[in-house]
Chain A
Amino acid sequence: MYKVWTLARTTLREMLREKIFMVAVLIAVALLALSFLLGALSFAEQRKILADFGFMAIQISGLGISLFAGAYLLAKEIEKQTCLLILSRPVSRAQFILGKLFGVLALNTLLMSALGVVLYLLLGLWKEPKLFPAFFEIGLSLWCESAVILCLVIFFSLVVRPVLALGAGFMVFLLGHWLGDLAFFAEKSQEDMFVQAVKVLHWVTPNFYRMNWKSAYFLENGIPFNNILWMLAHMTGWALLAILLTNFFFRRKDIV
């Protein structure tokens, strides 16, 4: 386990020392500032607008890091052959994948937590501690979403070029969020093909629609425990599947 930790620490160090992290921080801060301004400009429901835009800023930051870091995480190591020295040590390919993955997850956790703290302060939630669990659960759902996208993009990057993996990851994100709407339209259209296609999509896409809690007015309504359990199980399943597939393909890959 220490080897995985060593690789994760090195990956985190790389990300923090590279420009990608600074770009992600700048974008996130700009979005948070925008949400604060929009909230201040509106007459009613200032906190809702601030919360909606704030969570969107956190979501975009997490998604951005997952897509860009995930697409190039293994591809860069293989192309630049930096992984050769690591794999010549007593490190298995599975440990290498996990180390790299945990490094990016740690970065996402750091960034999303920091932005979460800023949003918490902007919303003045310390005055209403009973609202903190719901706030935390929304943050957790966004983190889980970014983690699943990261795992999937890493897998995609092993089978297609990084830029295509990035695009595929973004498509999964969009489809995952559109699943509910697609099901609704399929039902209304009564086209058998459409209905069947949406059923297939339900099986091959993580259901981000069902855990899209950030648009709910969370300050009044908490998130039911069953929903949280469902989200954790669903996201863990998808992440594990992606990691297993990544390991399966990476173990067989010739690093030429």
Chain B
Amino acid sequence: MAVLSIEKLNKTFKGGLFEKDRHVLRDVSFALPEGQTSGFVGSNGAGKTTTIKCIFDFIRPDSGIIHFFGKPLTSESKTRVGYLPERPYLYEFLTGMEFLRLHWNLCYGASLKDFHERAHEALKKVDLFEAKDRRLRTYSKGMLQRIGIAQAILTRPDLLILDEPMSGLDPDGRAMVKDILREEQKRGVSLFFSSHLLQDMEELCSHLVVINRGQILYDGVLNSFMAEYQSLEKAFSVLKGKEEGRV
């Protein structure tokens, strides 16, 4: 069973008085296999973030079907999914621990059973245990990204959706995020992350979804995609070139 399946997703943003409507997603369809790491690759403005926002209903699609674990998005399925938005803007007036507790309470209500154990585990994974009582306002950009990841893995979700989790991080930060993602892979979590950095995809993914100008160019096994080409970068540019040639 696919952990996340999307069928014929369409979204158009209405233009202003003198602007044209922008059709940003065109019949986007793909499915994420369970227990695998899927990459969502595309140039800036290709529609990656809009698709992810539609998945969580932050943006209402014009049409299309989205299923988590075979069902539409419900409160139950939301507790099984961890999410990290692009450039996470967090409640900076909270401390790291308060921030995690907020997300725990929103998932499990008042019960704090297992909270401290899970929070400490997540904080240690992202190397923020020592900073847990500091306000997020005092965190660096890399630390904010890591506490964002900590909240995503706090509830031990079955599916992790991360929007550009490594953007803007220094090499150490990127290496740390990759290590965290590898640990989650070992735990059997299905991972879905977007990036325009193809090297990250090659390192971490077994499944690939390619999007360009709001259309899916490829949805399948990464190795098959790369079989004809020497690198993912080459494959991506050829595929993109073919598609744009048609347009």
Contact surface of A with B, Cβ cutoff 8 Å: 2-3, 6-7, 10, 13-14, 17-18, 80-82, 84-91, 252, 254-256
Stretch of B28-36, B85-93, B197-205, B225-233 that contacts chain A: B85-93
Q: Residue B58 contacts which of A13, A87, A89 (CB distance < 8 angstroms)?
A: A87
B58 near A10 (CB under 8 angstroms)? no
Quick one: given A81-B85, A255-B53, A256-B59, are A89 and B94 in contact (CB under 8 Å)? Answer: no
Q: Verify B81–A88 contact, CB threshold 8 A.
A: yes
Residue from the list B53, B56, B105, B109 in contact with A256, Cβ < 8 A: B53
Q: In the complex the two chains form, is A85's CB within 8 Å of B93's CB?
A: no
Give Cα distance in the complex from A256 to B151, angstroms.
22
A-B contact count (CB 8 A): 72
B78: nearest chain-A partner, CB-CB = A90
CB within 8 Å for A87 and B56 given contacts A3-B109, A6-B106? yes
Could you list some 16 contacts between A and B, CB below 8 A? Answer: A7-B106, A10-B94, A18-B93, A81-B89, A84-B53, A84-B58, A85-B85, A85-B88, A87-B57, A89-B107, A90-B79, A90-B107, A255-B58, A255-B59, A256-B13, A256-B53
Query: How far apart are A141's CB and chain B's nearest CB, in angstroms?
Result: 32
Q: Is B187 an interface residue (CB 8 A)?
A: no
Given A3-B109, A87-B58; A82-B91 close (CB under 8 Å): yes
Q: When the two chains form their complex, are residues B93 and A17 in contact, meaning their CB atoms are under 8 A apart?
A: yes
Query: A256 to B79, alpha carbons, bound, how many Å?
Result: 23
B237 near A: Cβ within 8 Å?
A: no
Q: Which of the four size classes fits the interface of chain B? A: 20 to 34
Q: When chains A and B are docked, how far (Å) is the Cα of A90 from the Cα of B108?
A: 9
Residue of chain B at shortest CB distance from A83 = B58
A256 to B75, CA, bound (A): 22
Given A10-B94, A90-B79, A255-B59, 13 other A-B residues pairs in contact with their CB atoms under 8 A: A3-B109, A10-B91, A10-B102, A81-B85, A82-B91, A84-B56, A85-B88, A85-B90, A85-B103, A86-B106, A88-B85, A89-B103, A90-B75
Question: Which residues does chain B contribute within 8 Å of A254, judged by CB atoms?
Answer: 13, 53, 58-60
Tell me, yes or no, whether B83 is within 8 Å of chain A by CB. yes
Whether a CB of chain A sits under 8 angstroms from the CB of B110 is yes
A253 and B161 CA atoms in complex are apart in Å by 22
Q: Give the docked Cα–Cα distance between A63 and B151 (Å).
A: 36
Say how far A26's CB is from chain B's closest CB, in angstroms. Answer: 20
Which A residues are CB-close (under 8 A) to B59? 254-256
Q: How far is the CA of A84 from the CA of B90 in the complex (A)?
A: 9
The 6 closest A-B pairs by CB, nearest first: A90-B75, A89-B106, A88-B83, A255-B58, A6-B105, A90-B78
Which residues of B (38-60) have their CB < 8 Å from a CB of A? 50, 53, 56-60
Whether the pair A90, B53 counts as a contact (CB closer than 8 A) is: no
A14 and B85 form a contact (CB under 8 A): no
Partner of B83, one of A10, A85, A256: A85
Which B residues are in CB contact (< 8 Å) with A17? 93
Q: Kindly report which residue of chain B lies nearest to residue A78, judged by CB atoms.
A: B58
| B residues near A82, Cβ cutoff 8 Å | 89-91
> B residues 1-47 with Cβ under 8 Å of A?
13
- Of listed B58, B81, B94, residue having the most chain A CB within 10 A: B58
Rounded to whole angstroms, the CA-CA distance of A81 and B90 in the bound complex is 8
